[in-house]
């Protein structure tokens, strides 16, 4: 047996496992020719439905091109092809849907899978299985059943869609049905799923029930309220009569399949699978080893190609004000979709210039989060404005429309939500509030995202920084951030005028662009037309930034693998609350901030930090609320008590080490030490 993987190496007993990018035809064909398979099960696919909706090219490459390459690579082979397709090829009209129904996918995911099905069905003997599966994941992504279970374990209320129906099957049952189908030599198109259907709400409650949790934490929700980027079919239940008749056996019911999922959970199938995981190729840290083998809370990842990019600029003509700045801005624009990007020399400078572009002055107020680095509020104070602090949601650490609403007055000029630890605030909700308040007061209120934590995160499937709901977003490229330029930042916007204003202010307010050729006395000439700053970033830094941007998807993926491991191995321990993530707001995990009940643990935060230091683990506190800082207390009369949720968060929070260059061994070490602390107290 040969297992081919793309990003996540796996080890399967008795199987060779090799990495291959299936969009690379030559590489794929070489694997197939070397191995000469009898059966090929094609389950490679992208399933990030919302991200794919806005990434036509990426979706096509991952779902259709891979299939075409595979079919081409198999042209001279007699191997049986089994293609794993999806229930998303059906429209979502009332089901159950059978194979005779004309597919009418509602989103790009379904459309690309349908296109791939059509290719696969051209191959004689190919079996196309339309399904929807869940199971115990090795890493990274949670299946829907695991997601409901995790919420129960962490005692979080979650919503299950009452109006979304499906026939999802446990992957172990899918395996058995496919094995039976192969034994019978089935080919053509079949629904391979459970024989009945249920809503996602009932599914969530069934999971809770099976694992002995109270079902009241699974609340009824509606797909319509979820603001997904991609449309979702409501009824995706599948009719499996054709399969059952062909096999002469019944498919399991959803209850039976879930019971098997639970039984495998009790038997620790996941632990056994994880134990079989190949060790990740260790990140290359030789060049910049952490001092004394310490495990810090965050740090950069620099490869030889980053150094080569910097080296090339250092030997070239431009150290600053050259072409590498625009190239870095273009890379940020390409990644986020923001039309205008202005790179500057820090995240703080970005926030300051964004406030200036919004013409913020002493007559104004700015509403932001207390749970942030002081720069979020300082930027407003630089302009003479008064900061106001909205309290946070105690679970996400983000400010919400409900907390912002009472603070908005006719003096409010800017609202600056901070995407704490990388997870986006609910921007649609905040946008709606601002629209309503602008209409009420007849004022202009700018929505400015402090996205300094959130490059690489998504909101409703779109990259944070796309500014779909905001006027501007600011990024930071400090070394603990996802992408570093040493120091650095950027303002992103879809608004050409705001972009031009920030660009002007970045460099003293000096311009030539406003002059016609006739107004130019000579090539030396420029004018200062506004009071700006020298907030320029160098070409050296931008060369590093562009090189780092190419690695951003890998950085995010690696952090998410580590988070998955933290979540799995710290779940259910006493006195600790783990971070949560909503599927509409995928986090880049800039930080992994847990909360300890220090009182119940019988150790204060300092003792915990010092104990971990003994094991070379260095944690950090995010954040001392801005309202607590002496400067803000003295100048604006803030203090503890202003934002009780932020105060409570501060009392409990501690950020554990998390960075892409963190090795598996370091992660295991941190987990073991934290577990030791928590279980010693029982
Ligand atoms: C939320 C937030 N905003 C702004 C900043 C300021 O960014 P910089 O350090 O690049 O000036 C930071 C930096 O840590 C931050 O975390």
CA nearest to 645, candidates 378, 365, 380, 403: 403
Q: What are phi and psi of 132, to 5 degrees?
A: -150, 120
Distances (CA, A) of 612 to 296, 503, 617, 657: 11, 45, 5, 11
Q: What is residue 166's predicted lDDT score, i.e. its pLDDT?
A: 97
On whether both 470 and 580 belong to a single domain, the answer is: no
What residues make up the domain containing 620?
552-680
Q: Let me know if residue 546 belongs to a domain.
A: no
CA nearest to 301, candidates 625, 559, 596: 559
Q: Let me know if residue 315 belongs to a domain.
A: no
Does the C-beta of 452 come closer than 6 Å to ligand 1? yes
Q: Which residues contact 558 (CB under 8 A, 6 or more apart)?
A: 283, 660
Q: 499: domain CATH number?
A: 3.40.640.10
On whether both 383 and 492 belong to a single domain, the answer is: yes
Nearest-angstrom CA–CA distance, 571 and 270: 14
On whether both 427 and 337 belong to a single domain, the answer is: yes
Structure tokens at 52: 């794919």
CA nearest to 3, candidates 48, 61, 43: 43
Q: What is residue 55's predicted lDDT score, i.e. its pLDDT?
A: 85
Does the C-beta of 417 come closer than 6 Å to ligand 1? no
For residue 348, report the distance from its CA to the centre of ligand 1, in Å: 6
On whether both 559 and 516 belong to a single domain, the answer is: no
- Ligand 1: atom nearest CA of 489 is 10
> Contact, 445 vs 401, CB < 8 A?
no
Does the C-beta of 373 come closer than 6 Å to ligand 1? yes
For residue 451, report the distance from its CA to the centre of ligand 1, in Å: 9
Q: Is 394 helix (H, G, I), strand (E, B) or coil?
A: coil
For residue 470, report the distance from its CA to the centre of ligand 1, in Å: 19
For residue 373, report the distance from its CA to the centre of ligand 1, in Å: 6
Q: What is residue 277's predicted lDDT score, i.e. its pLDDT?
A: 60
> Contact, 23 vs 66, CB < 8 A?
yes
Query: 474 in the Ramachandran plot: left (φ > 0), alpha (ψ -120 to 50) or beta?
Result: beta
Q: Let me know if residue 294 belongs to a domain.
A: no
> Contact, 132 vs 126, CB < 8 A?
no
Does the C-beta of 450 come closer than 6 Å to ligand 1? yes
Does the C-beta of 348 come closer than 6 Å to ligand 1? yes
Residues 458-494 pLDDT 10s: 999 999 999 999 999 999 999 999 999 999 999 999 9
On whether both 652 and 573 belong to a single domain, the answer is: yes
Alpha helices in 534-638 (DSSP H): 539-549, 552-570, 598-601, 605-614, 630-636
Does the C-beta of 368 come closer than 6 Å to ligand 1? no
Distance from the first to the final alpha carbon of the chain = 46
Distances (CA, A) of 238 to 91, 97, 108, 205, 527: 12, 5, 20, 21, 69
Q: What is residue 581's predicted lDDT score, i.e. its pLDDT?
A: 93
On whether both 385 and 509 belong to a single domain, the answer is: yes
Nearest-angstrom CA–CA distance, 104 and 567: 38
10-residue stretch averages of pLDDT, the chain, 682 residues long: 77 74 87 90 91 88 95 93 97 94 94 96 96 86 89 84 96 97 96 97 95 89 86 95 97 97 90 64 43 81 91 92 95 96 98 98 98 98 98 97 98 98 98 98 98 97 96 97 97 98 97 90 93 98 96 92 94 95 93 97 95 92 97 98 98 97 89 92 50
Pocket test for ligand 1, best of 370, 375, 482 (most atoms within 8 A of CB): 375
For residue 455, report the distance from its CA to the centre of ligand 1, in Å: 12
Pocket test for ligand 1, best of 454, 476, 490, 537 (most atoms within 8 A of CB): 476
Does the C-beta of 85 come closer than 6 Å to ligand 1? no
Q: What is residue 47's predicted lDDT score, i.e. its pLDDT?
A: 84
For residue 477, report the distance from its CA to the centre of ligand 1, in Å: 8
- Ligand 1: atom nearest CA of 348 is 11
Please give the full DSSP string across 258-298, using - where no structure is assigned: HHHHHHHHHTTHHHHHHHTSPPPPPP--SSSPPGGG-B-S-
> Contact, 503 vs 491, CB < 8 A?
no
Q: Let me know if residue 379 belongs to a domain.
A: yes
**What is the count of structural domains for the chain?**
3
On whether both 557 and 497 belong to a single domain, the answer is: no
Q: Is 524 helix (H, G, I), strand (E, B) or coil?
A: coil
Q: Which residues contact 364 (CB under 8 A, 6 or more apart)?
A: 383, 385, 386, 411, 412, 413, 414
For residue 567, report the distance from its CA to the centre of ligand 1, in Å: 26
Does the C-beta of 233 come closer than 6 Å to ligand 1? no
On whether both 526 and 652 belong to a single domain, the answer is: no
Say if strands 133-134 and 127-131 run parallel, antiparallel, or are unpaired.
Answer: unpaired
Does the C-beta of 425 come closer than 6 Å to ligand 1? no
For residue 62, report the distance from its CA to the centre of ligand 1, in Å: 35
Q: Let me know if residue 353 belongs to a domain.
A: yes
Q: What is residue 292's predicted lDDT score, i.e. its pLDDT?
A: 60
Residues 578-606 pLDDT 10s: 999 998 899 999 999 999 999 999 999 99
For residue 624, report the distance from its CA to the centre of ligand 1, in Å: 14
On whether both 41 and 179 belong to a single domain, the answer is: yes
- Ligand 1: atom nearest CA of 372 is 1
Q: Nearest residue CA, atom 10 of ligand 1?
A: 347
Count of C-beta atoms within a 10 Å radius of residue 246 = 15
Half-sphere exposure of residue 587, counting CA atoms within 13 Å on the CB side? 27
For residue 476, report the distance from its CA to the centre of ligand 1, in Å: 6
Bridge partner list, 459: 462
- Ligand 1: atom nearest CA of 481 is 14
What's the distance, CA 403 to chain centroid? 25
Residue carrying structure tokens 């009392």: 651
Q: What is residue 228's predicted lDDT score, i.e. its pLDDT?
A: 85
Q: Nearest residue CA, atom 8 of ligand 1?
A: 347
Q: 625: domain CATH number?
A: 3.90.1150.10
Q: Let me know if residue 340 belongs to a domain.
A: yes
On whether both 118 and 86 belong to a single domain, the answer is: yes
CA nearest to 395, candidates 154, 173, 58: 154
Q: Let me know if residue 646 belongs to a domain.
A: yes
Does the C-beta of 542 come closer than 6 Å to ligand 1? no
Does the C-beta of 375 come closer than 6 Å to ligand 1? yes
Q: Let me know if residue 231 belongs to a domain.
A: no
Q: Nearest residue CA, atom 14 of ligand 1?
A: 373
- Ligand 1: atom nearest CA of 420 is 1
How many DSSP H helices and E strands does the chain contain?
25, 27
Q: What is residue 19's predicted lDDT score, i.e. its pLDDT?
A: 79
Does the C-beta of 210 come closer than 6 Å to ligand 1? no
Q: 114: domain CATH number?
A: 3.40.50.720
On whether both 418 and 444 belong to a single domain, the answer is: yes
For residue 593, report the distance from its CA to the centre of ligand 1, in Å: 17
- For the chain, give percent helix, strand, coil, nearest 5: 40, 15, 40
Does the C-beta of 347 come closer than 6 Å to ligand 1? yes
Nearest-angstrom CA–CA distance, 620 and 377: 21
On whether both 594 and 647 belong to a single domain, the answer is: yes
């Amino acid at each position: 047996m040969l297992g081919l993987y793309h990003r996540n190496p796996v080890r399967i007993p008795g199987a060779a496992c090799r990495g291959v990018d299936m969009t690379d035809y030559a590489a794929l064909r070489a694997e197939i020719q070397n191995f000469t398979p009898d059966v090929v099960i094609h389950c490679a696919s992208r399933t990030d439905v919302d991200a794919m909706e806005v990434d036509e090219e990426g979706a096509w490459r991952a779902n259709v091109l891979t299939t075409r390459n595979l079919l081409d690579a198999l042209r001279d082979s007699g191997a049986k092809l089994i293609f794993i397709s999806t229930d998303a090829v059906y429209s979502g009209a009332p089901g159950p849907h059978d194979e005779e129904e004309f597919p009418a996918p509602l989103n790009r995911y379904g459309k690309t899978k349908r296109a791939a099905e059509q290719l696969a069905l051209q191959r004689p003997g190919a079996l196309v299985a339309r399904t929807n599966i869940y199971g115990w994941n090795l890493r990274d992504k949670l299946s829907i059943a695991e997601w409901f279970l995790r919420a129960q374990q962490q005692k979080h209320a979650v919503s299950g869609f009452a109006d979304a129906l499906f026939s999802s099957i446990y992957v172990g049952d899918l395996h058995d049905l496919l094995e039976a189908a192969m034994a019978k030599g089935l080919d053509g198109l079949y629904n391979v799923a459970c024989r009945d259907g249920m809503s996602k709400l009932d599914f969530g409650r069934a999971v809770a029930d099976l694992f002995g949790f109270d079902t009241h934490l699974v609340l009824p929700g509606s797909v319509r309220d979820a603001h997904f980027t991609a449309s979702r079919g409501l009824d995706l239940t599948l009719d499996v009569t054709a399969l059952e008749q062909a096999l002469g056996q019944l498919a399991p019911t959803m209850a039976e399949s879930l019971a098997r999922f639970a039984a495998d959970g009790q038997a620790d199938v996941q632990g056994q699978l994880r134990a079989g995981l190949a060790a990740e190729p260790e990140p290359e840290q030789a060049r910049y080893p952490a001092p004394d083998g310490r495990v810090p809370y965050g740090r950069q990842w620099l490869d030889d190609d980053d150094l080569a990019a910097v080296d090339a600029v250092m030997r070239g003509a431009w150290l600053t004000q050259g072409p590498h700045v625009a190239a870095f801005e273009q890379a940020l624009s390409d990644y986020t979709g923001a039309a205008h990007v202005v790179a500057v020399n820090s995240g703080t400078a970005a926030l300051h210039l964004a406030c200036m572009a919004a013409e913020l002055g002493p007559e104004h107020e700015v509403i932001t989060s207390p749970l942030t680095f002081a720069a979020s509020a300082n930027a407003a104070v630089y302009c003479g404005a008064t900061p106001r602090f909205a309290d946070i949601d105690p679970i996400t650490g983000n400010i919400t429309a409900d907390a912002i609403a009472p603070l908005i007055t006719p003096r409010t000029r800017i609202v600056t939500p901070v995407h704490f630890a990388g997870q986006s605030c609910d921007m649609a909700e905040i946008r709606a509030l601002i629209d309503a308040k602008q209409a009420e007061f007849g004022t202009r209120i700018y929505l400015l995202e402090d996205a300094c934590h959130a490059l690489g995160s998504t909101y409703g499937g779109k990259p944070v920084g796309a500014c779909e709901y905001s006027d501007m977003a600011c990024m930071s490229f400090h070394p603990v951030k996802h992408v570093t330029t040493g120091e650095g930042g950027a303002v992103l916007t879809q608004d050409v005028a705001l972009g031009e204003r920030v660009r002007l202010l970045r460099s003293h307010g000096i311009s030539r662009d406003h002059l016609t050729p006739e107004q130019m006395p000579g090539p030396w000439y420029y004018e200062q037309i506004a009071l700006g700053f020298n907030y320029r970033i160098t070409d050296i830094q931008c060369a590093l930034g562009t090189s780092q941007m190419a690695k951003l998807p890998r950085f995010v993926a690696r952090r998410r693998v580590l988070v998955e491991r933290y979540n799995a191995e710290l779940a259910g321990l006493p006195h600790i609350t783990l971070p949560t993530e909503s599927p509409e707001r995928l986090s880049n995990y800039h930080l992994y901030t847990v909360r300890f009940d220090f009182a119940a643990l019988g150790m204060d935060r300092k003792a915990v930090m010092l104990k971990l230091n003994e094991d070379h683990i260095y944690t950090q506190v995010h954040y001392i609320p801005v309202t607590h800082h002496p400067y803000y207390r003295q100048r604006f009369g803030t203090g503890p008590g202003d934002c009780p949720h932020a105060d409570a968060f501060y009392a409990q929070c501690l950020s554990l080490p998390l960075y892409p260059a963190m090795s598996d061994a370091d992660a295991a070490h941190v987990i073991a030490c934290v577990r030791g602390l928590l279980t010693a107290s029982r």
